Amino acid sequence: MSAVCNPGSSPQTGVVNTATAPCRYGAVLVAASERGICDIQLGVDRETLVDNYRCTATNDVNWVVGDEQPEWLATVLKLVQNPKCALDYPLDVRGTTFQKLVWEALCNVSLGQTTTYSALAEAIGKPKAYRAVGAACGANRLALVIPCHRALRKGQGPLDYRWGADIKQQILMAEASWALDPP
């Protein structure tokens, strides 16, 4: 497992600093707690991301506005532009023990590759838990860092993705391109 995918911390309380920026997939929303980046969301536009985040945030939110870009946002934007770029910032991964097990297995899927929910279930030693694996992928709050976009339904293309099938397809195409011949 890479250092980027260290599913180690648990939910916490307190203020979460949050910022948005345009990116190659539309917009990105990044939230950082005192422990590290706890949320990376992708969407077609900033307004939808902000509205969705406000509905699901469990912490007090401090919206970072202005021209100055926080280090944690700049780090994520580098990752968005270059899928081979290591995320050089601490993470605050929040999830159940099972979710973290699935996410750790996802981090072992190479850039440019995909897997299925059933293959992930096999990889974690729970071959009948493919639906729960799909739910764990859907619960991932760290887009790109925990590569849930690399998980597909068996026999189907990229249909389900928390941030939309179109964005999932764009990410997979970008990663495949980088894996073969980085620009």
pLDDT per residue as tens, the chain (183 positions): 333 343 444 444 578 899 999 999 999 999 999 999 999 999 999 999 988 888 877 767 788 866 678 999 999 999 999 988 889 899 999 999 999 999 999 999 999 999 999 999 999 999 999 999 999 999 999 999 999 999 998 876 656 788 888 999 999 999 998 888 765
Distance CA 150, CA 159 (A): 11
Active site residue 107: no
Distance CA 24, CA 28 (A): 9
Q: How far is CA 20 from the centre of its chain?
A: 15
Backbone angles phi, psi at 171, to 5 degrees: -65, -45
- CATH number for position 71: 3.30.160.70
Domain residues for the domain of 34 are: 15-81
Q: Enter the pTM of the model.
A: 0.86
As given in the structure block, the two tokens for residue 113 are 């590759």
Residue 161: what pLDDT?
81
- Residue 129 and residue 102 share a domain: yes
- Residue 76 and residue 101 share a domain: no
How many domains are contained in the chain? 2
Residue 5: what pLDDT?
40
Residue 2 lies in a domain: no
